[in-house]
Amino acid sequence: MSFFDLLTAPQALPFTLALLLFFLITIIEVVLVWLGSGADFGMDLSIDLDTPGLSDGSGGWLLDWLGIGRVPYLISLAGFLFCFGLLGLFIQDIQLEAIGTALPWPVVAAGCFVASLPAVRLLNRGLGRIWPKDVETSAVTQDSLVGHEAVVVLGTVSPGDPGQIKVRDPHGTIHYGLALSDAAGETFAPGEHLLIVGRRGPTFLVIRHPNPSSTPTSPTA
């Protein structure tokens, strides 16, 4: 079987698409860096990491283990797509050469997903040591946002129910995340200014800001 036949085989198409997306991201990143726009298409993608399923800290260990945030998120995504696609094609190629038929792609995809995670961890932690933080502002860590002023933008922030906040880092990039009130019995409505005092997994802990900025901020701005 030729390489083109492998790429277009039905049981290999998910892995082919993953590699195509990897190359698309890589090409766009190279063009934007050449134009001086930087990585991540000039967008802050940190909001995508603060999902309700992880807000209670039950999955925060996985983000920390993977080293998410040490490099731009699209770099991590591209690395995962490359490992996932290449490993899937390799497995299906062996099956086709050995027995003449490929395995069902959902089975292979599940195994490749798990097997790709250690590679993403190595990529994030390796590149994170040398990545120029002054070039890519979206690679700031959540810990670096502790001590900054935040504004409630969605829902009500309470001790037991997280709401969404936004915070501006020293580079001027706005980040979004979930936050819980660190003050017993105190809740905060959209538009209120808070102070980030810590983290519980991927969720920020906040209190009422003792000296909020004088500039009024719209919750939806």
Which of 137, 158, 174 is where one domain is finished? 137
Same domain, 133 and 145: no
Same domain, 87 and 188: no
Question: How many other CB atoms are there within 10 angstroms of residue 57's CB atom?
Answer: 12
What is the pTM assigned to this prediction? 0.52
Same domain, 18 and 115: yes
Same domain, 118 and 25: yes
pLDDT exceeds cutoff 70 at 125: yes
Give the CA distances from residue 58 to residues 19, 61, 104, 192, 202, in Å, rounded to whole numbers and listed in that order.
31, 7, 31, 28, 9
The burial of 103, by beta-carbon neighbours within 10 Å (0-12 exposed, 13-18 middle, 19 or more buried), is given as: middle
Same domain, 155 and 120: no
Least confident piece of the model among 59-68, 84-93, 96-105, 170-179: 59-68
User: Is residue 12 a part of any domain in this protein?
Assistant: yes
CATH of the domain at 171: 2.40.50.140
User: Is residue 220 a part of any domain in this protein?
Assistant: no
User: Is residue 125 a part of any domain in this protein?
Assistant: yes
Same domain, 150 and 41: no
What is the bridge-based pairing of β-strands 193-200 and 203-208?
antiparallel
pLDDT bin (cut points 50, 70, 90) of residue 61 is low
11-14 long-range CB contacts below 8 Å, 24 or more apart? 11/92, 11/102, 11/103, 11/104, 11/105, 11/108, 12/88, 12/89, 12/92, 12/102, 12/105, 13/105, 14/88, 14/105, 14/109
Q: What is the pLDDT of residues 69-80, one digit of tens each?
A: 677 777 888 899
Range of the domain at 166: 140-208
User: Is residue 49 a part of any domain in this protein?
Assistant: yes
Where are the strands (E) in 1-103, listed by range?
none
Q: What is the pLDDT of residue 133?
A: 52
Same domain, 76 and 14: yes
Same domain, 116 and 21: yes
Q: What is the pLDDT of residues 88-104, one digit of tens each?
A: 999 988 888 887 777 88
